[in-house]
Amino acid sequence: MRITFRSRPATLDGAIAVGLWRGRLATPSFTALDGDGSLSGALKRLGFDGDAEETELLLAPKPPLTALVAFGLGKGRKLTPKRLRRIGGALLDELDESRAKSVTVFADLPPDQVAELAYGLRLKGYRPLSRYRTRYDPDDEDDILPVLESVVVACADPDEAERLFQAREAVAQGVFLARDLTDEPGNALGPQDFVERARLLTSLGVEVTVLDETAIRKEGLGLLAAVGQGSHRPPRLVLLRWKGAEGKPLVLVGKGITFDTGGITIKFDDDDMDAMKADMAGAAAVIGALRAVAGRKARAHVCGVLALAENMPSGSAQRPGDVVKSFSGRTVEVIDTDAEGRLVLADALAWAAERLKPALMVDIATLTGTTEELLDAEYAGLYANDDLLAKRLLKHAKEEDEPLWRLPLTKACDEDLKSDIADLKHCAWGDVPDNDDAARFLEHFVPEGLPWAHIDMAGREFADEDDPLCPETATGYGVRLFDALAGGADS
């Protein structure tokens, strides 16, 4: 789908979309269309009031127009960037319903607001992976592909709107990369396949460094090596660096389990095993964020660390009860091989802290089912050792429509993590919720004094049909949040 910005065209044809304020207060564009008042009357009869995100598909008033979509702008003083994006997402849904191939959008808004509306339209207009499909049922309403190809947004200053939109387009492309990767089947995306996707970012100026299985063991990343040793596709550690500024970097660390069977502790009763292809959604968020900041040439120093492995059962897989030495030097007793995410993150966090000397560090992972159950997949869980960092993340999460809920880091979990034969156990299944134990376990691998946050995004990797900015597919959760943390599209 192509989005462009132009001055108001002299003639109108095809489909058009036009905004109204709450109470059906007409914008200049709507007034120009509704010469005899028939459109306003039709909207009144249909109960359309112009509330934000409200849409109505009407028959075209006269040829050569083919369809008209009215969309609500709500109250002017409440037109925040978040609200404008949601309006754009709602408009995209209605345009798909209209089956229009091209549309001209009239919103009568200043360039910055037009850019935000178009950004929301772009995010909701993502098309899920389709290259594996060879057949479609034309009689099945849910199987009919959208046909919208071109959107022209009419505004008074199209050059400025285009300039502002391009930074948001770069972020959208990062989101789309994360969505694509999350939705890839496990047989098409192993650790090395992920590496090849990462290498493509060099064309944007991102430095890409890859540690193979030999380098991983030489570096002492024993936990990452142990998780990946059961698969014939060996683990990888990837460092992505965008150096758009000097100084210590923001470091983002992503769990990249390209498929999670549970290992020896296999997921026997899991009806959703197929969804375990998405256990790398944290790493997808990190690579998407690097794609975003590089695409918009952000004035920021950002590093991404991807801990990539496939967790498989085999004769070479790690066992419950194994003791493994981590990069930090701590030994870890493995209790359950299906709690592998915290193992690869622990090594990646300690390695990143030592090698990259970050200003602050954030990790993200589809880590625990308990977080998904606790927050009902409405929020990702946030743990942080620094209140200022937590406050920043919560603020950006609200603004970017990627909700977080802060949960407590507590030393009470240390009793669960005591081992009789090693420095730590990595899980316990005790009285303390596992998500709390997991976060506290990770904290042991973060140097004291380094601001750090852990985001458990379990349940947020896929969208339902009500998501305002994503179709029913992988979400790319975390990309917009991390881009904002790195300075945002207006930095």
Half-sphere exposure of 93 (CA within 13 A, CB side): 20
Pairing relationship of beta strands 360-365 and 250-260 according to DSSP bridges: parallel
List the beta bridge partners of residue 382. Answer: 406, 455
Q: At 475, which amino acid appears?
A: T
Give, as one character, the DSSP assignment of residue 363: E
Burial of 342 (0-12, 13-18, 19+ CB in 10 A): buried
Nearest Cα residue to 30 out of 99, 109, 84: 109
Compute the distance between CA of residue 311 and CA of residue 338 in angstroms, rounded to an integer.
8
Instruction: Please provide residue 239's backbone torsions phi and psi, each rounded to the nearest 5 degrees.
Output: -110, 125
C-beta separation of 386 from 374 below 8 A: no
Cα 267 versus chain centre, distance: 26
10 Å Cβ neighbour count for 409?
19
342 catalytic per annotation:
yes
Compute the distance between CA of residue 99 and CA of residue 148 in angstroms, rounded to an integer.
7
**Three-state secondary-structure class, residue 443:** helix
Q: 182 — alpha (psi -120 to 50), left (phi > 0) or beta?
A: alpha
- Active-site choice (82, 267, 325, 330): 267
Compute the distance between CA of residue 445 and CA of residue 348 in angstroms, rounded to an integer.
9
- Active-site choice (85, 241, 342, 425): 342
Catalytic residue list:
267, 342
